[in-house]
A and B are shown apart, each in its own frame.
Chain A
Amino acid sequence: MQIQVNGESMEFGEGATISDLIQRMALEGKRLAVEVNEDIVPRSEHPSFSLSDGDRVEVVHAIGGG
């Protein structure tokens, strides 16, 4: 299935979770926040939250800004 991650298309197998996505992005253990289709998915739900075809995922972190 196709998932839009930060505006780019990524291919995942059926049943992939947010934890799988974070692993694929090599961001495990990083402080980040995830939104699926404009709704926050709390960190505690990352291992159980299954993605669906066409989901739009945003993975964000803190950067310098004023």
Chain B
Amino acid sequence: MSEQPERPLPEDKPLEIAGKVYNSRLLVGTGKYRDLSETGHAIETSGAEIVTFAVRRTNLGQNPDEPSLLDVVSPNSYTMLPNTAGCYTAKDAIRTCKLARELLDGHDLVKLEVLGEEKTLYPNMTETLVAAEALIKDGFQVMVYCSDDPLLAKRLEEMGCIAIMPLGAPIGSGLGIQNRYNIRLIVENARVPVLVDAGVGTASDATLAMELGCDGVLMNTAIAQAQDPIRMARAMRLAIESGRHAYLAGRMPKKLYASASSPLDGTFF
């Protein structure tokens, strides 16, 4: 039997986003937790270094002594990634990014997401392209939530987006990576980091994304809505590391039939 020619192993490049190198390839959201204390604890356990959050109106007449998200998840400890969740037009997304930049004293890293419809929260790519162009022109560093179309992903990269973040399944669905082939193609073509953003439901989903060669995974609901979010945060940290190692190790080729693991030489029967 002829051996398969060995494929070169993938290069172990560190995850670099906007000029900064990160040890963790898990990015997390801050929504849907029971309270801020659980948010802080889960994020710490996840080992994530990049944390995404939303920008919303302050409530009139709210308790002024109430702790805020940024008290628990401090911009001094984490790279803050404001997102444009809830925006359905390029205009709203651009406004949100500008407010976020003011909120974070000029920090210009953003997660752009322009949604198309409520049922699937699938990205509206036409508006996403418009917003990305305007934001990049305005000096923002754009990580972009997008569909899994390899050509659109490449186009976003060529426009100057610093990370491409296709969905693996609809936001908050927990369905896992439904589009392995497309994710694989996007990874293969990209020269900027590719992160699966949305769709992960449990640890094996995150591992699979990493085994496909993704540079990282962004998730929120899979941790926040687990029955024990702190333990799931730990599971996700390990799953991401595990998948990364498996990708770098180069898995064995699949075979149709068995191949004995123990030698046949020296058998006494």
Residues of A within 8 A of B (CB): 5-8, 25-27, 30-35, 38, 40, 42-43, 58-66
Contacts and interface: CB of A to CB of B under 8 A. Distances in A.
Given A31-B103, A62-B80, 7 more contacts: A25-B60, A26-B64, A30-B68, A61-B56, A64-B36, A66-B85, A66-B224
A43 B102 contact: yes
Given A30-B68, A31-B70, A40-B102, A65 B31 contact: yes
Contacts of B170: none
Contacts, number: 104
Contacts of B220: 65-66
A61 B221 contact: no
B83 A58 contact: no
A65 B30 contact: yes
Interface residues of B, number: 40
B100 A33 contact: yes
Contacts of B82: 62
Contacts of A31: 68, 70, 103
Interface of B: 29-33, 36, 39, 52-60, 64, 68-70, 80, 82-83, 85-86, 95, 98-103, 105, 171-172, 218-221, 224
A20 to B, nearest CB: 15
B137 to A, nearest CB: 16
Nearest to B71: A31
Among A5, A32, A60: residue with most chain B CB under 10 A = A60
A30 B95 CA distance: 20
Contacts of B59: 6
B221 A66 contact: yes
A58 B46 CA distance: 34
Given A31-B103, A60-B103, A65 B57 contact: no
A5 B86 CA distance: 20
A62 B33 contact: no
B60 A63 contact: no
A35 B57 contact: no
Contacts of B60: 5-6, 8, 25
Nearest to B113: A66
Contact of A65 (B36, B53, B95, B103): B53
B57 A58 contact: yes
A61 to B, nearest CB: 5
B229 to A, nearest CB: 12
A64 B39 contact: yes
B53 A33 contact: no
Given A5-B60, A6-B57, A27-B58, A62 B69 contact: yes
